[in-house]
Chains A and B, each alone.
Chain A
Amino acid sequence: MLGRLAAKRLLEIRQVFRQPPSQASRSFSTALNYHLDSPDNKPDLPWEFSEANKSKVKEILSYYPSNYKQSAVIPLLDLAQQQHGGWLPVSAMNAVAKVIEVAPIRVYEVATFYSMFNRAKVGKYHLLVCGTTPCMIRGSRDIESALLDHLGVKRGEVTKDGLFSVGEMECMGCCVNAPMITVADYSNGSEGYTYNYFEDVTPEKVVEIVEKLRKGEKPPHGTQNPKRIKCGPEGGNTTLLGEPKPPQFRDLDAC
Chain B
Amino acid sequence: MGVGILASRAIRPASRLLRSQTSNLSLRTIVSKPELQSPEAAAASQPAEPPKNQILPPRNPVGGARVHFANPEDAIEVFVDGYAVKVPKGFTVLQACEVAGVDIPRFCYHSRLSIAGNCRMCLVEVEKSPKPVASCAMPALPGMKIKTDTPIAKKAREGVMEFLLMNHPLDCPICDQGGECDLQDQSMAFGSDRGRFTEMKRSVVDKNLGPLVKTVMTRCIQCTRCVRFASEVAGVQDLGMLGRGSGEEIGTYVEKLMTSELSGNVIDICPVGALTSKPFAFKARNWELKGTETIDVSDAVGSNIRVDSRGPEVMRIIPRLNEDINEEWISDKTRFSYDGLKRQRLSDPMIRDSDGRFKAVSWRDALAVVGDIIHQVKSDEIVGIAGQLSDAESMMVLKDFVNRMGSDNVWCEGTAVGVDADLRYSYLMNTSISGLENADLFLLVGTQPRVEAAMVNARICKTVRASNAKVAYIGPPADFNYDCKHLGTGPDTLKEIAEGRHPFCSALKNAKNPAIIVGAGLFNRTDKDAILSTVESIAQANNVVRPDWNGLNYLLLYAAQAAALDLGLIQQSAKALESAKFVYLMGADDVDVDKIPKDAFVVYQGHHGDKAVYRANVILPASAFTEKEGTYENTEGFTQQTVPAVPTVGDARDDWKIVRALSEVSGVNLPYNSIEGVRSRIKSVAPNLVHTDEREPAAFGPSLKPECKETMSTTPFKPVVENFYMTNAITRASKIMAQCSAVLLKK
Q: Do A and B come from one complex?
A: yes
Q: Report which A residues bind B (CB closer than 8 A).
A: 1-7, 9, 16, 27, 29, 32-35, 43, 90, 102-106, 108-109, 112-113
- The answer to whether B237 and A33 have CB atoms under 8 Å apart is no
Q: Determine whether B247 belongs to the interface, using a CB cutoff of 8 Å to chain A.
A: yes
- The answer to whether A112 and B243 have CB atoms under 8 Å apart is yes
CB-defined A-B contacts under 8 Å, sample of 28: A1-B8, A2-B3, A2-B4, A2-B7, A2-B8, A4-B4, A5-B4, A6-B4, A16-B199, A27-B247, A33-B248, A33-B249, A34-B205, A34-B249, A90-B253, A104-B254, A105-B237, A105-B238, A105-B239, A105-B240, A105-B253, A106-B237, A106-B240, A108-B240, A108-B242, A108-B253, A108-B254, A113-B243
> In the complex, A113→B255 CA distance in Å?
19
Smallest CB-CB separation from A35: which chain B residue? B254
Q: Are A109 and B251 also in contact (CB < 8 A) when A2-B4, A6-B4 are?
A: no
List the B side residues contacting A16 at CB < 8 Å: 199-200
> In the complex, A34→B239 CA distance in Å?
12
List the A side residues contacting B254 at CB < 8 Å: 35, 43, 90, 104, 108
Q: Are A3 and B239 also in contact (CB < 8 A) when A34-B251, A35-B255 are?
A: no
Which B residues from 275 to 308 make CB contacts under 8 A with A? none
List the A side residues contacting B200 at CB < 8 Å: 16
Q: Determine whether B540 belongs to the interface, using a CB cutoff of 8 Å to chain A.
A: no
Smallest CB-CB separation from A103: which chain B residue? B237
- The answer to whether A34 and B242 have CB atoms under 8 Å apart is yes
List the A side residues contacting B207 at CB < 8 Å: 34
Chain B count of residues within 8 A CB distance of the other chain: 28
> In the complex, A170→B651 CA distance in Å?
74
Smallest CB-CB separation from A34: which chain B residue? B251
List the B side residues contacting A90 at CB < 8 Å: 253-254
Smallest CB-CB separation from B253: which chain A residue? A108
- The answer to whether B4 and A35 have CB atoms under 8 Å apart is no
> In the complex, A27→B198 CA distance in Å?
21
Which B residues from 158 to 202 make CB contacts under 8 A with A? 198-200
> In the complex, A103→B1 CA distance in Å?
56
- The answer to whether A33 and B247 have CB atoms under 8 Å apart is yes
Smallest CB-CB separation from B237: which chain A residue? A103
- The answer to whether A109 and B1 have CB atoms under 8 Å apart is no
Known contacts A102-B237, A105-B237, A113-B243, then 7 further A-B pairs from the complex at CB < 8 Å, ordered by chain A residue: A2-B8, A3-B5, A6-B4, A9-B198, A35-B254, A104-B253, A113-B242
List the B side residues contacting A112 at CB < 8 Å: 242-244, 253
Q: Are A6 and B1 also in contact (CB < 8 A) when A33-B243, A34-B207, A113-B244 are?
A: yes
> In the complex, A139→B272 CA distance in Å?
45
- The answer to whether B1 and A105 have CB atoms under 8 Å apart is no
- The answer to whether B237 and A35 have CB atoms under 8 Å apart is no
Which B residues from 612 to 629 make CB contacts under 8 A with A? none
List the B side residues contacting A1 at CB < 8 Å: 4, 8
> In the complex, A121→B243 CA distance in Å?
18
List the A side residues contacting B231 at CB < 8 Å: 103
> In the complex, A187→B12 CA distance in Å?
72
List the B side residues contacting A33 at CB < 8 Å: 242-243, 247-249, 251, 253
Smallest CB-CB separation from B198: which chain A residue? A9
> In the complex, A104→B237 CA distance in Å?
8
Q: Determine whether B252 belongs to the interface, using a CB cutoff of 8 Å to chain A.
A: yes
List the A side residues contacting B1 at CB < 8 Å: 3, 6-7
List the B side residues contacting A9 at CB < 8 Å: 198
CB distance from A34 to the nearest CB of B (A): 5
Which B residues from 1 to 43 make CB contacts under 8 A with A? 1, 3-5, 7-8
List the B side residues contacting A106 at CB < 8 Å: 237, 240
Smallest CB-CB separation from A10: which chain B residue? B1
Q: What per-residue 1/0 map shows which CB atoms of B240-275 lie under 8 Å from chain A? A: 111110011101111100000000000000000000
Smallest CB-CB separation from B200: which chain A residue? A16
> In the complex, A90→B256 CA distance in Å?
13
> In the complex, A183→B202 CA distance in Å?
32
List the B side residues contacting A5 at CB < 8 Å: 4
> In the complex, A103→B207 CA distance in Å?
19
Smallest CB-CB separation from B202: which chain A residue? A25
Which B residues from 210 to 252 make CB contacts under 8 A with A? 231, 237-244, 247-249, 251-252
CB-CB nearest 5 A-B residue pairs: A3-B4, A103-B237, A2-B4, A108-B253, A105-B240
List the B side residues contacting A3 at CB < 8 Å: 1, 3-5
- The answer to whether B252 and A105 have CB atoms under 8 Å apart is yes
**Most A Cβ at <10 Å: residue of B239, B244, B247, B255:** B244
> In the complex, A43→B5 CA distance in Å?
60
CB distance from B208 to the nearest CB of A (A): 10
> In the complex, A2→B244 CA distance in Å?
39
Q: What per-residue 1/0 map shows which CB atoms of B409-434 lie under 8 Å from chain A? A: 00000000000000000000000000
List the B side residues contacting A4 at CB < 8 Å: 4
List the B side residues contacting A35 at CB < 8 Å: 253-255
> In the complex, A33→B248 CA distance in Å?
8
List the A side residues contacting B251 at CB < 8 Å: 33-34
> In the complex, A106→B7 CA distance in Å?
53
Smallest CB-CB separation from B204: which chain A residue? A33
> In the complex, A2→B1 CA distance in Å?
8
List the A side residues contacting B244 at CB < 8 Å: 112-113
List the B side residues contacting A29 at CB < 8 Å: 243
> In the complex, A102→B237 CA distance in Å?
9
CB distance from A11 to the nearest CB of B (A): 12
List the B side residues contacting A108 at CB < 8 Å: 240, 242, 253-254
Smallest CB-CB separation from A42: which chain B residue? B254
- The answer to whether A109 and B240 have CB atoms under 8 Å apart is yes
CB distance from A25 to the nearest CB of B (A): 9
> In the complex, A3→B239 CA distance in Å?
49
Smallest CB-CB separation from B1: which chain A residue? A3
List the B side residues contacting A104 at CB < 8 Å: 253-254
List the A side residues contacting B7 at CB < 8 Å: 2
Q: What per-residue 1/0 map shows which CB atoms of B381-416 lie under 8 Å from chain A? A: 000000000000000000000000000000000000
